Amino acid sequence: MDHSVDRREFLLKTTAGAVSLSLSESLGFGPIEMLAAAKSEGIPLRKLGKTGVNVSQLSFGCGSRFLMYKTDDEALEALNWAIDHGITYIDTAHAYGDGESERRVGLVMKQRRKEVFLVTKLTGRTRDEYMKQFELSLKRLQTDHVDLLHFHSLGKMDDVEKLGEKDGVYEAGMKLKDQKATRFIGFTSHTDGAAAKAAIERFDLDCCMMQLNPSKAGGFEDLALPAALKKKMGVVAMKFSAQEKLLGEGKGKAKAEALLRYALSLPVAAVNVGMPKLEMLKQNIELAKNFKPMSAQESKQLQEELQIAQAGLESFFAAHSDTAHRA
């Protein structure tokens, strides 16, 4: 039996407007509910795990691609257009562009904070550094709280240990949650699926964002994703095109539409996408609105076609930083 197929296989059942997505019984846990009855300007909403919050299945990523807009006016036009057309999940980070991303997002949040699920991420690995970053992030974002606060870019097992140190950043994050400065806490990782799995099992987290694409680089789909779903965490996919390294024609390449469809077919709440051009944003919104899940056979075939890229991507992401101004 091909267990890699079984892990991805889930049933799509539509009732009076709700869609229930469940992994195959081989994973050994119950179905993960994803609400798709409601829509935001035509984009289906899915449940963000145990948070109970429904978010658009397409997320607006405000990382290096958002910083490619040359002016504030261009960036704000894109972000406002995204919100106007149904994207409710907005993802940024303290370190993106040395604060430029959060500053730009804050210019929109000043007027539209209540319309979105706002996410930011902190790289701090000591309590003092973490808290200083958080206070500055709130100022940049022009808000008194975020909806989700991530420990940014979890690396290998030593980083997992660092999070859990006594009087460390995990404890600081839980305190911010208790104080309602953030509604939920989580982490992001593109490096090591085994370390991500360990963090999921060790800590009481609400959400996580992880690298998920058909190359299966880092082992996230086989290791971290099942662990997160078992704890009913909200999961967001990122690196669906592996920083565009999977895009193109020929061996080890695929079209953006197929890669996005693959990621959306996984049992995740949303796929986070950086969209540096308004036309790309419009195209991806249409794809999200008209999404039809891949069959297990289609997913398997795409994996087989892109497996050749796995080793190279694992090497790339081991050294890749999500905090640079431009990727």
CA–CA distance, 125 with 174 (Å, rounded to integer): 14
Q: What parts of the chain have a pLDDT lower than 50?
A: 1-37, 324-327
Q: What distance lies between CA 29 and its chain's CA centroid?
A: 22
Task: Give the pLDDT score at 27.
Answer: 33
CA–CA distance, 46 with 34 (Å, rounded to integer): 5
DSSP letter for each residue of 289-315 = HT--PPPHHHHHHHHHHHGGGHHHHHH
pTM of the full structure: 0.88
Task: Give the pLDDT score at 140.
Answer: 98
Task: Give the pLDDT score at 256.
Answer: 95
CA dist 217 to 144, 189, 240, 258, 307, Å? Answer: 37, 12, 11, 17, 9
pLDDT in tens, 273-302: 999 999 999 999 999 999 999 999 999 999
Query: Is residue 191 within 8 Å of residue 318, measured between CB atoms?
Result: yes
Query: Is residue 22 within 8 Å of residue 30, measured between CB atoms?
Result: yes
Task: Give the pLDDT score at 316.
Answer: 79
Phi, psi (degrees; rounded to nearest 5) at 98? 55, 40
Task: Give the pLDDT score at 322.
Answer: 66
Q: Report the residue count for the chain.
A: 327
Q: Nearest-CA neighbor of 313 among 220, 200, 207?
A: 220
